[in-house]
């Protein structure tokens, strides 16, 4: 594919979303000499990217605000732009030295460093969002999101409304929730009576942050396979996919993680919103009950607990949306299989 220059809108959005560094909630983080009340629990949240990325990190940040809003007794701090494992260890240790008992890393990359330092910080419990189960240990818990559920519904809707009967999926890497989404898309399409091998076109760009690469990949799917519905997942990947779709008025998009209709307006088919506050709450409650002291846990955000919410886009007909609600109910009550079992 020939490389092209990003449109100005995406450059601006990417620049805004690309803020990195060490930013902390100044009113909530204790000073180096401060002590925490024995009755007050301190929780630190670490985000690997920018909280304004319109995707993964923003979803985690908004979920944090929802959680602390429901738990005013919690003292919290947060930091963004911490991706490198060495930096993760340094920041996490800094929080433990300040008296934080619960540390949440919002990304798959937090599993290994958390497992490495857990034994060095007794009494501190860690949660790696999208962390692989193999890193769950005495002080380390993990969590993931059932994108197989949401993408099953989206795959079913997409193939129903598609005029070309060609669906595209553009994602960062085939890991964690991104891989689960492909499973869901394939089985949702199959549930609608179509062969996913013939109608679903998947591109993993290999990079969550390369906006240009994602834009080119999306354009290629549209031009080469006449794809007219795009599912996107990933930080910069999502920005690139949105930018490409805006250049093809007849193409619809199903973004992930957050809801920003102002970016895609009339081309929105389904919005997929992730709310990790249900997982944060389970982790917090397990600490209070003493369950974490017995060993790390693994949590799921899903359709049943509100960890995933689907929003009807302007391009989705009401009758089709109504039928999709029955599918959602079937997934939640177990009568419809998405193709994945935890």
d(CA 50, CA 53): 6
Q: What is the mean pLDDT of residues 38-55?
A: 88
Q: Mind listing the pLDDT tens digit for each residue in 181-221?
A: 999 999 999 999 999 999 999 999 999 889 999 999 999 99
How much of the chain, in percent, has pLDDT values that exceed 70?
89
Mean pLDDT of the chain: 88
Partners of residue 204 on adjacent β-strands: 171
Q: Per the structure block, which two tokens stand in for 75?
A: 């003292």
Range with lowest mean pLDDT among 4-18, 58-72, 211-225, 227-241: 4-18
Q: What is the pLDDT of residue 6?
A: 32
Q: Which of these, 133, 123, 132, lies nearest to 95 by C-alpha position?
A: 123
CB atoms within 10 A of CB 243: 25
pLDDT in tens, 306-325: 999 999 999 999 999 999 99
Query: What are the pLDDT digits (tens) for 18-46?
Result: 333 322 332 233 333 333 444 689 999 99
Give dist(CA 184, CA 59) in Å, integer.
21
- Three-state secondary structure call for residue 114: helix
Kindly report, residue by residue over 254-296, the tens digit of the pLDDT: 999 988 888 777 899 999 999 999 999 999 999 999 999 999 9
Q: Which residue has better confidence, 109 or 2?
A: 109
Radius of gyration, CA atoms only, the chain: 20
pLDDT for residue 1 is more than 80: no
3-state secondary structure of 247: coil
Residue 266 confidence (pLDDT): 85
**CA 125, CA 143: separation in Å to the nearest integer?**
14
pLDDT at 124: 98
**269 Cβ contact list (under 8 Å, min separation 6):** 154, 157, 158, 161, 229, 252, 253, 254, 313, 315, 316
Query: What pLDDT does residue 39 have?
Result: 60
**Domain-by-domain residue ranges, the chain?**
8-146+276-301, 147-273+309-333
Confidence (pLDDT) at 171: 97
Q: What is the pLDDT of residue 185?
A: 98
Residue 67 predicted with pLDDT over 80: yes
Q: Predicted confidence band at 55 (pLDDT cuts at 50, 70, 90)?
A: confident
Q: Is 195 exposed, middle or buried (0-12, 13-18, 19+ CB in 10 A)?
A: exposed
Return the structure tokens found at 86. 């060495």
pLDDT > 60? residue 72:
yes
Token couple for 257: 């993680």
Q: Which CATH superfamily is domain 147-273+309-333 in?
A: Response regulator (3.40.50.2300)
Whether residue 78 has pLDDT greater than 80: yes
- Contacts of residue 200, Cβ cutoff 8 Å, sequence gap at least 6: 155, 167, 168, 169, 185, 186, 189
Percentage of residues of the chain with pLDDT beyond 90: 80
What's the pLDDT score for residue 53? 86
pLDDT in the model for residue 194: 98
Average pLDDT over residues 143-167: 98
Residue 175 CB burial class (10 angstroms; 0-12, 13-18, ≥19): middle
Is domain 8-146+276-301 classified as CATH 3.60.10.10? Answer: no
What pLDDT does residue 234 have? Answer: 87
CB atoms within 10 A of CB 298: 15
Q: Which residue has the higher pLDDT, 15 or 61?
A: 61
Check for a shared fold between 8-146+276-301 and 147-273+309-333: yes
Per-residue pLDDT at 25: 34
CA angle 260, 263, 269 (to 5 degrees): 75
């Amino acid at each position: 594919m020939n490389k092209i220059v990003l449109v100005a809108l995406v450059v601006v959005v990417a620049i805004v979303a690309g803020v990195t560094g060490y930013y902390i909630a100044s009113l909530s983080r204790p000073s180096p000499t401060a002590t925490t009340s024995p009755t007050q629990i301190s929780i630190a949240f670490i985000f690997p990217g920018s909280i304004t990325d319109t995707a993964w990190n923003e979803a985690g940040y908004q979920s944090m605000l929802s959680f602390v809003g429901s738990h005013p007794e919690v003292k919290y701090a947060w930091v963004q732009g911490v991706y490198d494992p060495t930096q993760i260890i340094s920041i996490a240790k800094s929080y433990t030295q300040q008296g934080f008992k619960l540390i949440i890393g919002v990304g798959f990359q937090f599993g290994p460093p958390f497992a490495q330092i857990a034994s060095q910080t007794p009494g501190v419990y860690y949660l790696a969002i999208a962390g692989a189960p193999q890193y769950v240990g005495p002080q380390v818990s993990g969590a993931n999101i059932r994108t197989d559920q949401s993408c099953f519904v989206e795959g079913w809707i997409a193939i129903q409304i598609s005029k070309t009967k060609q669906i595209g999926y553009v994602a960062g890497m085939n890991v964690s929730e991104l891989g689960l989404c492909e499973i869901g898309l394939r089985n949702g399409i199959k549930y609608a009576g179509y062969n996913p091998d013939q109608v679903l076109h998947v591109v993993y760009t290999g990079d969550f942050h390369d906006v240009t690469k994602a834009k080119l990949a999306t354009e290629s799917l549209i031009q080469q396979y006449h794809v007219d519905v795009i599912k996107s997942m990933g930080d910069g990947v999502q920005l690139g996919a949105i930018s490409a779709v805006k250049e093809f008025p007849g193409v619809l998009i199903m973004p992930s993680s957050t809801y920003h209709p102002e970016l895609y307006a009339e081309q929105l088919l389904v919005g997929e919103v992730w709310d990790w506050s249900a997982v944060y709450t389970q982790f917090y409650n397990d600490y209070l009950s003493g369950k974490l002291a017995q060993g790390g846990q693994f949590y799921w955000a899903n359709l049943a607990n509100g960890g995933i919410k689907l929003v009807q886009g302007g391009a989705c007909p009401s009758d089709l949306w109504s039928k999709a609600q029955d599918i959602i109910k079937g997934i939640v009550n177990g009568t419809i299989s998405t193709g994945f079992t935890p």
